[in-house]
Structure 1
Amino acid sequence: MKLSMVMGGFLMMSAAADAQKVDFTEYDLPNGLHVILHQDKSAPVAAVTVFYHVGSKNEEVGRTGFAHFFEHLLFEGTENIKRGEWSTIVTSNGGQDNATTSQDRTFYYELFPSNQLELGLWMESERMLHPVINNEGVETQNEVVKEEKRQRIDNQPYGHFLEEVFTRLFKNHPYRWQPIGSMEDLDAAKLEEFQAFFKKFYVPNNATLSVAGDIDIEQTKKWIAKYFNDIPKGADIVQPKIEEAPITKEIVDTAYDANIQIPAIMTAYRVPGLTSEDSKVLEMISSYLSNGGSSKLYRKMVDDKKNALQVGAFNYSLEDYGAYITYALPNNNTPLTDLLKDIDEEVAKLQTELISEQDYQKLLNQFENEFVSANTRMLGVAENLADGHVYFKNTGHINDELNAYKKITREQIREVAKKYLNPNQRVTLYYLPEAKGTN
């Protein structure tokens, strides 16, 4: 591929970034709540989101699962919203609602017709100001969480693989347990502990209110002041900073899963957190290796050699660290060691050779498409704005991200692969069917 074609790709990406530029207004309330507002009149919808900087990494040993538990518990009701009526109010007014929890944050949202924006703001202020946290709600949601764990993890093929990887990849950091936590810990917790967890973390100075869509900025500010100004500020929160010693010798282990018949081979490398430039390079490496049917691993192992049913690589990026994970499922009883060898060969090529200019251009195009897609939905824009503020200390990161990928060179791809993706720096996990009769 000629240099002119690569430069042409850069120009196209720059044009896409300019066309997708997200304008926003941001400010802080006296109680510490950070507010981000984005106006987009293209559709009569508005996303109301609240990002609480609390996830499973803020939990303690013996009391895991609290952050995810609150994802459910804070839909129970408030002093002014009767128990069980939260989602009914949302849907009866043409909206959608949900929440997600990760190791680093809990994210609540409503997506409403824009004429119901005030309702969404009031509801989120209710959730923050005075939810009802009592034994009835705790017991109800305890059963809900247990059923979720059974369906999504315990009874799901390969459902425990992230748990098995992270418990080996992290020895000290709370990332070593998964957000859903331990059901035994939740059973053992007292009501006072749940109430204390809420009082500590679900406060305005630990939250970002991000609103995007068909809104009037000045009117929205008035509603926010009306509903959020009087919520008391909480104590300052210091996020945990726990460092892990580098892995210098390959950790090889075996895990068993009663829900699978086909084994898998997995590797995991502990890598820098999502704010590191190297994390973005690892995202590009993942796309190069396994994004789509024309990717290197898929074409080699599924199409050509036909020794794998599935193969993939992805960068699980978190705030403090990331986990770069590869996996493969064998076809025709191919030994797992053969699959690992094939994956390692492609990684070794990345470490010693520059990817072709054609493959490089393909990566740039993929990231441009993903960037454009991510910023076409108001919910995605609201979340990306909050992510930029909390993680990158730069709400405008949403406008800088594509250019950051554009600046990554083929040489950087080679050097980052060489720096992090070495056998002596990883966990290698043989994930096997559980033998009959095994407890």
Structure 2
Amino acid sequence: MKKKFYAIACGLMITASAFAQEVKFTEYDLDNGLHVILHQENKAPVVTVGVMYHVGAKDEETGRTGFAHFFEHLLFEGTKNIERGKWFDIVSANGGRNNANTTQDRTYYYETLPSNNLELALWMESERMLHPVINKIGVDTQNEVVKEEKRQRIDNAPYGKIIYQTAIGKHLFKKHPYKESVIGSMEDLDAAKLDEFIAFNQKFYNPNNATLVVAGDIQIENAKKMIADYFGDIKNNGEKITRTVIKEDPITTEIKATETDANIQLPAKVLVYRTPKQTDRDTYVLNYISTILTGGNSSRMYKNMVEDKKVALQVFAFANAQEDYGTYTMVALPLGQVGLDKLQAEMDAEIEKLQNELITEREFQKLQNQFENNFVNSNSDIEGIAGSLATYNVLYGNTDLINKEIEIYRSITREDIQKVAKKYLNKNQRLNLDYVSESSK
């Protein structure tokens, strides 16, 4: 009886926590097509202003890869009314912080400031949209910045080509732009002319290709007025972007490949599967599968390969769900003289077990609790809420998923997990990659 009471109490606590974390928001469009999302939370005098542009690495032209990520840097250079190199100084001088990030599908800029500086943040983002200065000195400066970032994160970082997918996309995608990395080619950036950068900005960085999020200590009507003042008159440089999704042929035969990395001493066995787009329910099931197999020290692959059999020094897996397709990557590093073939056999055995047997009720309950907890934590700060609101709107077409996504996870059954493992995690549907040091090839 005590156990039953405890279980009921825990369930009520989780439900109450999730309900308490409900994110209320207001959304609307300006006449120029800018989508606006407002979230009022007055507990702390902080506000985040973010703009997500629906442009990423997949929108680049062949021979000009890296433009979207390059613009993540370039649009901090300055504007007609913000002196070159002063963007970060202005934000920090007013007690705030700011950043940006780029994926295959979108680019996101944001500032977090004391709420009495809301107007400053709105002015700065309207300046970025309306008056960016794109000139040779800015392009040359950021070209060097991007090259250094590539050196640090990919070229000189152990396993960087796995983490940043540069060793993976080209094998899994033959037609779709996902075959290229987000950071792109330095040769392409070097070859680009100034006019090409200006044209890229004019095409993609418009109100009708953007979502503005304001979250935190605000008053809705006051925020609406300021947004109208700063963004309402910004004109679009062209029609709203329309996209045709490029379809890949199914993978029907295992793709075997070898990639080298001068920065590693231990090789890695990497198994990668092409998976559906992020809005597909199966993608949520794959997130469950990732946690079952390698989500912490109690996960199946860690227990079996690292702790019990001691054939792997480390194992990890991650699902990279994107707007058009996703990937599911599994990695194991050998311990001692264990060969990559042995690692593959152990990884395959864990997949086959998942395909042929239902996970236990206890394991399933633990899994659900983990995702309930993740849901509550994801809505615990204003900066995170702002980013989530923008993401759900731009890439999922449903802002309210910030509150409802947990219901998708709750609807997943043990049978769903087995079915999805059988559907996607098959030997003839994957990339089988040996990731080795240059000296051992």
TM-score by structure 1 length? 0.97
**Structure 2 residue aligned with 1:177:** 180
Uncovered stretches (5+) of structure 1, i.e. residues with no partner: none
Paired with 2:217 and 2:271, the residues of 1 have a C-alpha distance of 45
Paired with 2:196 and 2:244, the residues of 1 have a C-alpha distance of 19
Deviation at 1:7, TM superposition (A): 7.8
User: Pick from 206, 216, 219: which aligns with 2:209?
Assistant: 206
Deviation at 1:368, TM superposition (A): 1.1
Q: Read off the aligned partner of 2:97 and give its amino acid letter.
A: Q
Paired with 1:246 and 1:174, the residues of 2 have a C-alpha distance of 16
Q: Read off the aligned partner of 2:217 and give its amino acid letter.
A: D
Superposed CA offset, 1:338-362 (max 9, x none): 1111111111111111101111111
Paired with 1:407 and 1:19, the residues of 2 have a C-alpha distance of 21
Q: Please tell me whether the aligned partners of residues 76 and 84 of structure 1 are also in contact (alpha carbons under 8 angstroms).
A: yes
Paired with 1:6 and 1:246, the residues of 2 have a C-alpha distance of 44
> Does residue 314 of the first structure (1) align with residue 318 of the second (2)?
yes
> Does residue 247 of the first structure (1) align with residue 251 of the second (2)?
yes
**Structure 2 residue aligned with 1:63:** 64
1:340-359 to structure 2, matched below 5 A, reads 340-359=344-363
**Structure 2 residue aligned with 1:410:** 414
Deviation at 1:11, TM superposition (A): 5.3
User: Pick from 314, 320, 337: which aligns with 1:333?
Assistant: 337
Deviation at 1:321, TM superposition (A): 0.4
Q: Read off the aligned partner of 2:224 and give its amino acid letter.
A: K
> Does residue 258 of the first structure (1) align with residue 262 of the second (2)?
yes
**Structure 2 residue aligned with 1:278:** 282
Quickly say closer, same or farther: Cα 1:344–1:3, change in 2 above 3 A: farther
Q: Read off the aligned partner of 1:200 and give its amino acid letter.
A: K
RMSD: 1.6
Q: Read off the aligned partner of 2:309 and give its amino acid letter.
A: K
Deviation at 1:240, TM superposition (A): 3.8
> Does residue 298 of the first structure (1) align with residue 330 of the second (2)?
no
Deviation at 1:18, TM superposition (A): 1.6
Deviation at 1:17, TM superposition (A): 2.7
Shifted more, 9-18 versus 122-131: the winner is: 9-18
**Structure 1 residue aligned with 2:291:** 287
**Structure 1 residue aligned with 2:229:** 226
Superposed CA offset, 1:219-268 (max 9, x none): 11011001001100231201241010000010111111111111000011
Aligned length: 436
Question: What secondary structure sits across from 1:235 in the alignment?
Answer: coil
Q: Read off the aligned partner of 1:435 and give its amino acid letter.
A: S
Deviation at 1:3, TM superposition (A): 10
Superposed CA offset, 1:104-144 (max 9, x none): 00000000011111100100000000110001100110011
Superposed CA offset, 1:158-192 (max 9, x none): 11222111110111100001110000000000000
Q: Read off the aligned partner of 1:416 and give its amino acid letter.
A: V
**Structure 1 residue aligned with 2:83:** 82
Paired with 1:350 and 1:32, the residues of 2 have a C-alpha distance of 46
Quickly say closer, same or farther: Cα 1:9–1:289, change in 2 above 3 A: farther
Q: Read off the aligned partner of 2:313 and give its amino acid letter.
A: L
Question: What secondary structure sits across from 2:167 in the alignment?
Answer: helix
Paired with 2:410 and 2:101, the residues of 1 have a C-alpha distance of 30
Superposed CA offset, 1:274-332 (max 9, x none): 10000000000001111111111111111111111110111111111000110000001
**Structure 2 residue aligned with 1:421:** 425
**Structure 2 residue aligned with 1:123:** 124
Deviation at 1:20, TM superposition (A): 1.1
Q: Please tell me whether the aligned partners of residues 58 and 240 of structure 1 are also in contact (alpha carbons under 8 angstroms).
A: no
Uncovered stretches (5+) of structure 2, i.e. residues with no partner: none
TM-score by structure 2 length? 0.96
Q: Read off the aligned partner of 1:220 and give its amino acid letter.
A: A
Q: Read off the aligned partner of 1:367 and give its amino acid letter.
A: F
Question: What secondary structure sits across from 1:209 in the alignment?
Answer: strand
Question: What secondary structure sits across from 1:163 in the alignment?
Answer: coil
> Does residue 99 of the first structure (1) align with residue 103 of the second (2)?
no
**Structure 1 residue aligned with 2:143:** 142
**Structure 1 residue aligned with 2:189:** 186
Paired with 2:134 and 2:105, the residues of 1 have a C-alpha distance of 23
Deviation at 1:16, TM superposition (A): 3.2
Paired with 2:133 and 2:222, the residues of 1 have a C-alpha distance of 29
